[in-house]
Amino acid sequence: MKNTRDTQLLFELSRPGCRATRLPACDVPELPLCELLPTASMASTPPNLPELSEPQIVRHFVNLSTQNMSVDTHFYPLGSCTMKYNPKRNERIAGLPGLAELHPYQPESTLQGMLQILYELQEILQEISGLAVCSLQPAAGAHGELTALLVASAYFRNLGQKRPIVLVPDNAHGTNPASASMAGFQSVTLKTTSDGFVDMDELATKLNDQVAVLMITNPSTLGLFEPHIRQIADQVHAVGALVYLDGANMNAILGVARPGDFGADMQHFNPHKTFSGPHGGGGPGAGPICVTKELAPFLPAPIVVPCDRQEPCDHQETDEKGSGPTYRLDWDRPKSIGRVRAFFGNVGVLVRTYAYIRTHGPDGLRRVSENAVLNANYLLSRIKKILPVVQDDRCMHEFVATAAQLKAEKNISAMDIAKRLLDYGFHAPTVYFPLTVPEAIMIEPTESESKQTLDDFTDALFRIIEEDPQLLHGAPHTTSISRPNEVQAARQQILSHPEA
Amino acid sequence: MPYLYNTPADQTEMLATIGAGSLDELFDSVPQDLQLARSLDLPSAMSEMELEQHLHRLANKNQHAGQLVCFLGGGSYDHFVPAVVDAIGSRSEFYTSYTPYQAEASQGNLQVVFEYQSLITRLTGMEVSNASMYDGGSATAEAVLMAISTTGGRSAKKRQPNVVLPHSLHPEYRATIVTYLENLDVQVRFLETPQGIIDREHLANVLDDQTAAVVLQHPNFFGCLEDAEEITRITHDAGALLISVFDPISLGLLTRPGDYGANIAVAEGQGLGTPMTYGGPYLGIMACDKKLVRRMPGRIAGQTVDRRGNPCFVLTLQTREQHIRRAKATSNVCTNQGLFALRATVYLAQLGPQGLRETATLCLQKAHYASQQLCRHPRFSRAFDHPTFKEFVIRDAENRVDELLQAATNHGYLAGIPLAPWFPELSDCFLVAVTEKRTQDEIDRWVGELTRCGAKVHI
Amino acid sequence: MNQEDLLFAKTHEWVAISTEDGQPLATLGLSAFAVEALTDLVFIELPEVGQQVKAEEPCCEVESVKAVSDVYSPVEGEIIAVNDALPDALETLSEDPYGSGWIAKIRLAGEPDLTHLMDYKTYQKQCEEES
């Protein structure tokens, strides 16, 4: 049951002299600190942290946790985020000491199980994407975008070509143009048609030998499969440019269509979306990328490879069969762009990804997409009777409704609906994205929701739009807080608790 | 399928509502020739039991830090994680939620982020912290981009800006920065540190009026303390920003980046309650001067009031970010590392001021003891003659580091990190880290192991 | 300043042309209509003194909570003064948009081309069409 008492800040709970942790006495002969450290580099006082007891800490954070909606407690149809169930078995597995307590610089001979998981995952992601080589290094989807664009840039540099432009459709995730800028490209916006597809005339106008990459999200951010994807890719390739696939929406096409087959040269995966890695309140994610054979030499190092039996890896440990280690890290990649982070990658997320994929197998993964698309279409077919839906009749794994008409007629905005849904016990969909749809409400139910939940959600939406607009402007009414003053937040900038 | 709810009957009913004849029909918008005509070539499905047994087998092929005694560091450390951190981090209301776009449904996460930012500002002495970044390496690269955009300003200077990266900075952080800067018009100036720390005169010589930033790791990659105050002064005298890469545990004892004048402070926060997990996911800490906040990447939580006047928390200053500013955003960063910011918050609350100080003191004392004991053997000496915190570089007079470390591994010790892959001039050296978890007994036996390996060779 | 004496850009900036030390000078601001439409401004990033600006190109930015808008310079020249008081008193932009809410002063690079600018009446018409 929710604790309704005010939740104070840690700092307000602090009582001088309180302690939650006792450390063991030092068991080695101690020297005076002044003999070990120069006085100038020593702090005169301990850090100004709050002083608390363990029970206090636990109650504080557990009570805070109840102030969240989460996938485990609520339907969370946040479009574009694929908020599916996060399997408990994956959590237990990722916590195994043999996986969680590995240091990144351990010798490879002590990591053969881990390297096997990572190697197999590379192979699995290559097969799902239809692309040749995988790098598991990037830490998030946006990080994967940046990495792939740096790979593309190295590829063109190697060809001696200067191509300063990256084309980005106007309904793309904001990370796409931001990644392009970060990678040193000029991001040029491509207008899309009212259906959210690439405008072929616009593409023809903007495509030339200055273009390095077209970044495309397919299925698109409107939840539709780009009908001309193959022609688009062919035209991009015809001017010598590359196609990057933003893999945010892979949950719709697992085992159905492969980016490599429809013309992508590179893509990232969002394992925290598609492969059920918990979103963690905003991270961690991971952003593995797959690329064609031509781009592979430029991928970050290292990549996991099987040991060449002729030239066994330089280890004394042997595996079960006594034939030496099976996997090693390949650092010998002279054309590589280098590193995009320290250490191998977000391995904890990748292990969960591996566990998720191994649980499903090839047919199971297709079932995931079928049911994600089924749920989305079912919800669409019911919601289109309440709100206009951009896609009309059919969508892939998500769809975008609009409250524009409602706004004009009754002054009920997408935000009002989003806030009121919280009162009905549902997390809000994504609102005001994509930017190309006014009063957008982007709904992605995922495959792990039941028909009953979708029906309940539809019923709530139906009731909400009939409610008094005034009631909606003040929503939510049942949460601990309502409609925070964001202007004051941005102007006053209270970004930490003031020190006493 | 384990995670699907709908029965075949549900599916039939749903398809009827949709007006579709079959599941396959739902994919009609995917051109037929682009549909995969076969099953994916993947291993077949596993039940929960099979999966767990399979992964146990794989996990058992590894040797982990609970089995081998870990003296490895270099940015990832075997620090103690209190049970409370795991207990709170396993609350699924935290780990199965997402970015707090709807503040009313996310006050738990938002307050945690606000508390995290408050703890980081107190720990570092900096004015502002963001909600966290991917890891220490990418946070450092982002700090460099931030410094370049700050000092570059809008009045596009004619000359190319430069950044100074000393060799005493983590080599993988250096590599990350170089990758990030590859296509930008920025010159990277490497500063050699043959003495193990930055030479002040040498630094002053490479700085000029186009230097955007100096990246100072303190304690540095070799474990040595740098003269942070003096380096900051020289950097500021040249009009550049000082980016401090710190070790959060060290701040139990050492002066804070804010105290010696750092403009941006970044760190790998893994030591604050995050398991090593073969390198990630970790926690990138980033804090800065208040006047730089609009150039800072990543999410930031702020305090405000709701419509009833109650204090509450929201994401703020979002116009810096990619979903609004798109191509002109401060960074493409979208997520923070919420779960590990939470763990760090719980960790710091659990340790408190005394706990963090004692942890830092134990690291310092034990590292010093380990170094002293090992260097009593003539084969081993410290490569650099400077005060260190919890890490130090050992030189092997016999120059057979790989053999030595391999033998130690075979006998149960992750004894150190060879420096040869990054520093050819230090191919006879290895880096050792000693955390509060290492007991005197473990240290003595580690010394015994390394010296015995040496002895065997002589026999 | 009297709004009737100002010139307006399609992008909702105003300029007042005057002479200082014998040199033509433009004062730049945002129209009342624009400030109203942007709602709840939270930040202005002023241009830098000494910065060269070109006609119809962005010279600085204003931000609301969830939007960033470029402020375009209607004229070409060099920024010689900015309204430093503005960032800490953003309400001035709406309270006195044509007076103490000025943003910057620009020393014109020669005889300015003002043909793309509108007088107040024409601008009012544009605003009516937009709203």
Within 8 A of B153 by CB-CB distance, chain C residues are 48
pLDDT confidence band for A293 (50 / 70 / 90): very high
Q: Encoding tokens for residue B234?
A: 């020289």
CA distance A171 to B133: 26
Q: Is B59's CB within 8 Å of A97's CB?
A: yes
Task: Give the C-alpha distances (Å, rounded to integers) separating C43 from B237, B395, B405, B423, C69.
Answer: 30, 55, 57, 47, 11
Q: Return the pLDDT at B455.
A: 58
Which positions 102-121 of B are in contact with A (Cβ < 8 Å)?
102-109, 111-112, 114-115, 117-121
Task: Report whether pLDDT(A105) > 60.
Answer: yes
* Shortest CA gap B337–chain C (Å): 23
Provide mean pLDDT across the span A135-147. 97
Within 8 A of A487 by CB-CB distance, chain C residues are 40, 42, 64-65
Q: Return the pLDDT at B452.
A: 87
CA distance A82 to B210: 45
pLDDT digit string, tens, across residues C35-72 = 988 888 999 999 999 999 999 999 999 998 888 899 99
Q: What chain B residue is nearest to A261 in terms of C-alpha separation?
A: B34
Handedness of CA B45, A307, A103, A110 (dihedral sign): positive
* Shortest CA gap C88–chain A (Å): 9
Flag whether the ipTM exceeds 0.85.
Answer: yes
pLDDT confidence band for A276 (50 / 70 / 90): very high
CA distance B61 to B82: 27
CB neighbour list of residue C78: distance below 8 Å, 6 or more residues apart:
C50, C51, C52, C53, C106, C107, C109
Task: State which amino acid sits at residue B16.
Answer: A
Give residue B195's Cα distance to chain centre.
26
CB neighbour list of residue A44: distance below 8 Å, 6 or more residues apart:
none
Backbone angles phi, psi at A331, to 5 degrees: -95, -10
Provide mean pLDDT across the span A142-164. 97
Which positions 135-194 of B are in contact with A (Cβ < 8 Å)?
135-138, 145, 170, 172-173, 175-176, 178-180, 182-184
Within 8 A of B78 by CB-CB distance, chain A residues are 101, 103
Q: What is the 3-state secondary structure (H, E, C) of A139-196?
A: CCHHHHHHHHHHHHHHHHHHHCCCCCEEEEECCCCCHHHHHHHHCCCEEEEECECCCC
Q: Are A272 and A138 in contact (CB under 8 A)?
A: no
Q: Which residues lie across from A165 on neighbouring strands?
A: A186, A211
Task: Tell me how many degrees the CA angle A86-A92-A98 measures, rounded to the nearest 5.
Answer: 135
* Shortest CA gap B67–chain C (Å): 51
Within 8 A of C65 by CB-CB distance, chain A residues are 486-487, 490
Q: Return the pLDDT at C114.
A: 87
* Shortest CA gap A457–chain C (Å): 28
- Nearest Cα to B217, choosing from B182, B185, B253, B262? B262
Say what angle helices A347-383 and B8-18 make with each other, to 10 degrees.
Answer: 50
CA distance A205 to B150: 36
Q: Is B54 on the interface with A (CB under 8 A)?
A: yes
* Shortest CA gap B324–chain C (Å): 6
pLDDT digit string, tens, across residues A295-334 = 999 999 999 999 975 554 544 444 444 556 799 999 999 9
Q: Are B284 and B344 in contact (CB under 8 A)?
A: no
CA distance A376 to A369: 10
pLDDT digit string, tens, across residues C86-95 = 998 999 999 9
Task: Report whether pLDDT(A17) > 50.
Answer: yes
Q: Is C44 on the interface with A (CB under 8 A)?
A: no
Q: What chain A residue is nearest to C64 in terms of C-alpha separation?
A: A487
The 10 Å Cβ neighbour count of residue B48 is: 15
Q: In tens digits, what is the pLDDT along chain B, a chain of 459 residues?
A: 689 888 999 999 999 999 999 999 999 999 999 999 999 999 999 999 999 999 999 999 999 999 999 999 999 999 999 999 999 999 999 999 998 889 999 999 999 999 999 999 999 999 999 999 999 999 999 999 999 998 874 344 567 999 999 999 999 999 999 999 999 999 999 999 999 999 999 999 999 999 999 999 999 999 999 999 999 999 999 999 999 999 999 999 999 999 999 999 999 999 999 999 999 999 999 999 999 999 999 999 999 999 999 999 999 999 888 888 888 888 999 888 999 999 999 999 999 999 999 999 999 999 999 999 999 999 999 999 999 999 999 999 999 999 999 999 999 999 999 999 999 999 999 999 999 999 999 999 999 999 987 555 443
pLDDT digit string, tens, across residues A174-227 = 999 999 999 999 999 999 998 889 999 999 999 999 999 999 999 999 999 999
pLDDT digit string, tens, across residues A439-453 = 999 999 999 999 999
Within 8 A of A396 by CB-CB distance, chain B residues are 29
Q: Return the pLDDT at C40.
A: 85
Provide mean pLDDT across the span C20-46. 89
Q: Is C43's CB within 8 Å of A486's CB?
A: no
Task: Report whether pLDDT(C107) > 70.
Answer: yes
Option in B90, B97, B369 nearest A69 (CB): B97
CB neighbour list of residue A492: distance below 8 Å, 6 or more residues apart:
B302, B304
Option in B155, B294, B318 nearest C50 (CB): B155
Provide mean pLDDT across the span A89-99. 97
Q: Is B319's CB within 8 Å of C68's CB?
A: yes
pLDDT digit string, tens, across residues A50-66 = 999 999 999 999 999 99
Least confident window among A280-284, A397-401, B127-131, B162-166:
A280-284
Q: Are B170 and A104 in contact (CB under 8 A)?
A: no
Print burial letters for A52-68: b (CB count within 10 Å at least 16), e (below 16). bebebbbebbbbbbbbb
Q: Is A490's CB within 8 Å of C43's CB?
A: yes
Q: Token match 């190295």: residue? A: A154
Task: Tell me how many degrees the CA angle B345-B347-B350 measures, rounded to the nearest 5.
Answer: 110
pLDDT confidence band for C109 (50 / 70 / 90): confident
Within 8 A of C67 by CB-CB distance, chain B residues are 319, 324
Q: Is C48's CB within 8 Å of B155's CB?
A: yes
Secondary structure of residue C35 in the 3-state scheme: helix
Residue A284: cis peptide before it, omega within 30 degrees of 0: yes
Secondary structure of residue B164 in the 3-state scheme: strand
CA distance A374 to A398: 10
Which of B102, B154, B330 is the mutation pick for testing C, counting most C CBs within 10 A?
A: B154
Q: Return the pLDDT at C37.
A: 85
Task: Report whether pLDDT(A7) > 80.
Answer: no
Secondary structure of residue B129 in the 3-state scheme: strand
Option in B153, B154, B324 nearest C66 (CB): B324
Q: Is C65's CB within 8 Å of B318's CB?
A: yes
Task: Report whether pLDDT(A42) > 60.
Answer: yes
Q: Are A256 and B36 in contact (CB under 8 A)?
A: yes
Interface residues of chain C, partner chain B, Cβ below 8 Å: 43, 45, 47-48, 50-51, 63-68
Q: Return the pLDDT at B328.
A: 87
Q: Return the pLDDT at A54.
A: 97
What is the per-residue DSSP string for C44-102? EEPPPTT-EE-TTEEEEEEE-SS-EEEEEESS-EEEEEE-TTGGG-THHHHHSTTTTT-
Torsion from C-alpha of B217, B391, B341, A47, nearest 10 degrees: -80
Least confident window among A327-341, A380-394, A468-482:
A380-394
Q: Is B319's CB within 8 Å of C67's CB?
A: yes
Q: Is A486 on the interface with C (CB under 8 A)?
A: yes
Q: Are B65 and B77 in contact (CB under 8 A)?
A: no
Q: Return the pLDDT at A4.
A: 66
CA distance B180 to C5: 50
Q: Which residues lie across from C57 on neighbouring strands?
A: C73
Which positions 365-394 of A are in contact with B (Cβ < 8 Å)?
365-368, 370-371, 373-375, 377-378, 380-382, 393-394
